[in-house]
């Protein structure tokens, strides 16, 4: 099989990149290879459900997905933080969060619904999206030679040649592993999350009319609600499929993973640290849909864009922390740089210099080093020196 661009992994990053490339270059031959079979399950699929402004704008204004978001996902009621450790009186604790909708819309995204839609949409747009195919090997082409990807379908092995190769394989990090680009960081955090097949409405935790009336409309449940305490936070994210996503993110030194790595343990832990949520979950536990825990989820990467016609996007590159839900913002930014690199290449412009600049702009703290001083002081200083 041949393509102009092969994208390894058809999750959020890979499928949105394929749409962005298709929009920009109607004649480009784009192939997306995804291991999972579609349709994927709704609700209990992946994390990455809360979007913020950059990603929401990317989905709507850049990719033209506004109709899907408004009709099939939930409009988010902003961020909300409750400093509620050990407390049941949610209306008596410090609450930080908007009382009305912001003018710039953001969305709570059911990843199963979204990826099923993105897969169909990409196919309709002329992207060759193959699901149920596993990438087994990568050989990068030298100089002008094409890259080669070996894959496995039920029917047997398949070889793909492409001028551009983008790794969007998430935590599998196929290219990062092959090239030894993984970079440790000191942010030692773990997470555990699950979906409950019903709504969790924080407003039901209070009968105080003044507190209930503070938000107009009374849509606290549509916020990304954070229940915060020392060394951890808990997320509550509603999903359009009717489920609610609940997750714990905790500093490993203060709340070790073995305190939260089964549903029973997570519930015991919540009874101690966020008892009002534990009460609510107790009455809904028969609606549990999944449970996942992830150790030390934060990592860096030495390089994500290359003038040798390869790039990494999404979790296949860098992932620091989900506190501000920035994961899909970084996807928007990386995909846009990758689209620019492909544009330069198609215009027969040299790509290496652009790849270096985009690298500095996207990960100044982990990768960009000023060639004059050898420091990684941030993109503005780096660009001033290295232009």
Ligand X SMILES: Cc1cc2nc3c(=O)[nH]c(=O)nc-3n(C[C@H](O)[C@H](O)[C@H](O)COP(=O)(O)OP(=O)(O)OC[C@H]3O[C@@H](n4cnc5c(N)ncnc54)[C@H](O)[C@@H]3O)c2cc1C
Q: How many CA atoms lie within 13 A of 291 on its CB side?
A: 12
CB of 144 to ligand X, least distance (A): 26
Both tokens of 168, joined, read 């969007």
If binding is defined by CB under 6 A, does position 243 make contact with ligand X?
Answer: no
Q: What is the DSSP letter of 169?
A: -
- Looking at the Cβ atoms of 296 and 346, the one nearer to ligand X is 296
**Residue from 352, 193, 185 nearest 266 by CA:** 193
Please count the CA atoms within 13 angstroms of the CA of 83 that sit on its side-chain side. Answer: 5
Residue selected from 36, 72, 284, 296 as contacting ligand X according to rule CB under 6 A: 36
Please tell me the count of residues contacting ligand X according to CB under 6 A. 36
Piece of 20-28, 31-39, 156-164, 378-386 that binds ligand X (CB under 6 A): 31-39
Told to check if 119 binds ligand X by CB under 6 A, we report no
Per-residue x/- track, 340-379, ligand X (CB under 6 A): ----------------------------------------
Which of 20, 30, 34, 162 is close enough to bind ligand X by CB under 6 A?
Answer: 34
Nearest-angstrom CA–CA distance, 250 and 90: 21
Reading the block at residue 58, the tokens are 């990317």
In the set 3, 31, 42, 49, which binds ligand X (CB under 6 A)? Answer: 49
Among 78, 238, 322, 364, binds ligand X (CB under 6 A): 322
User: Binding to ligand X by residue 191, rule CB under 6 A?
Assistant: yes
Please report, for residues 21, 149, 302, 337, 374, the alpha-carbon distance to residue 140 in angstroms, rounded to integers and kept in the order given: 21, 8, 17, 20, 28
Please select the residue that binds ligand X; options are 78, 229, 300, 314, rule is CB under 6 A: 314
CB of 313 to ligand X, least distance (A): 7
- Which among 5-13, 95-103, 118-126, 194-202 is the span making contact with ligand X, rule CB under 6 A? 5-13
Backbone phi and psi for residue 14, each to the nearest 5 degrees, phi listed first: -65, -45
Three-class SS state of 71: helix
Q: What is the CA radius of gyration of the chain?
A: 22
Please give the residues from 131 up to 190 whose contact with ligand X meets the rule CB under 6 A.
134-135, 168-170, 172, 174
Residue partners of 276: CB distance under 8 A and separation at least 6: 84, 87, 88, 89, 90, 205
Q: How is residue 74 written in tokens?
A: 């939930």
33 near ligand X, judged by CB under 6 A:
yes
Closest distance of CB 215 from ligand X, Å: 21
The vertex-298 CA angle with 297 and 299, nearest 5°, equals: 120
Is 50 a binding residue for ligand X by CB under 6 A? The answer is yes
Is 110 a binder of ligand X (CB under 6 A)? no
* 59 or 205: CB nearest ligand X: 59
Stretch that binds ligand X, among 3-11, 212-220, 270-278, 367-375 (CB under 6 A): 3-11
Look at the block and give the residue holding tokens 């809904």.
284
Helix (H) or strand (E) holding 232: strand 232-238
In degrees and rounded to multiples of 5, residue 41 shows phi and psi of: -65, 145
In the complex, the residues that contact ligand X under the rule CB under 6 A are 8-14, 33-36, 46-51, 134-135, 168-170, 172, 174, 191, 247, 249, 294, 297, 314-316, 322, 325, 327-328
């Amino acid at each position: 099989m041949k393509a102009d661009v092969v994208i390894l992994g058809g999750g959020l990053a890979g499928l949105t990149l394929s749409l962005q490339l298709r929009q920009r270059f109607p004649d480009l031959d784009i192939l997306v290879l995804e291991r999972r079979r579609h349709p994927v399950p709704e609700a209990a699929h992946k994390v990455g459900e809360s979007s913020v402004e950059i990603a929401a704008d990317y989905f709507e204004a850049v990719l033209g997905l506004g109709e899907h978001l408004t009709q099939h996902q939930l409009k988010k009621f902003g961020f909300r933080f409750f400093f509620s450790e050990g407390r049941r009186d949610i209306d008596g604790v410090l609450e930080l969060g908007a009382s009305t909708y912001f003018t710039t819309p953001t969305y709570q995204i059911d990843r199963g619904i979204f990826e099923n839609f993105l897969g169909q949409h990409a196919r309709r747009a002329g992207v060759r999206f193959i699901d149920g195919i596993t990438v087994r090997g990568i050989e990068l082409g030298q100089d002008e030679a094409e890259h080669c990807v070996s894959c496995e379908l039920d029917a047997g092995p398949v070889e793909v040649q492409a001028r551009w190769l983008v790794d969007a394989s998430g935590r599998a990090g196929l290219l990062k592993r092959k090239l030894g680009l993984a970079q440790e960081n000191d942010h030692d955090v773990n997470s555990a999350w699950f979906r409950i097949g019903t709504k969790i409405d924080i407003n039901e935790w209070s009968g105080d009319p003044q507190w209930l009336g503070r938000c107009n409309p009374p849509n606290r449940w549509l916020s990304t609600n954070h229940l915060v305490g020392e060394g951890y936070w808990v997320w509550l994210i509603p999903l359009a499929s009717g489920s609610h996503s609940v997750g714990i993110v905790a500093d490993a030194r203060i709340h070790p993973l073995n305190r939260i790595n089964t549903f029973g343990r997570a519930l015991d832990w919540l009874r101690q640290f966020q008892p009002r949520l534990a009460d609510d979950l107790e009455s809904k536990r028969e609606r549990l849909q999944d449970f996942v825990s992830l150790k030390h989820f934060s990592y860096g990467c030495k390089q994500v864009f290359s003038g040798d016609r390869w790039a990494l996007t999404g979790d296949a590159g860098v992932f620091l922390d989900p506190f501000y839900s920035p994961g899909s913002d970084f996807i928007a930014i990386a995909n846009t740089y990758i689209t620019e690199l492909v544009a330069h290449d198609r215009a027969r412009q040299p790509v290496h210099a652009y790849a270096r600049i985009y690298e500095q702009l996207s990960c100044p703290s982990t990768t960009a080093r000023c060639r004059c001083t050898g420091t990684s002081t941030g993109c503005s200083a780096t660009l001033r020196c290295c232009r």
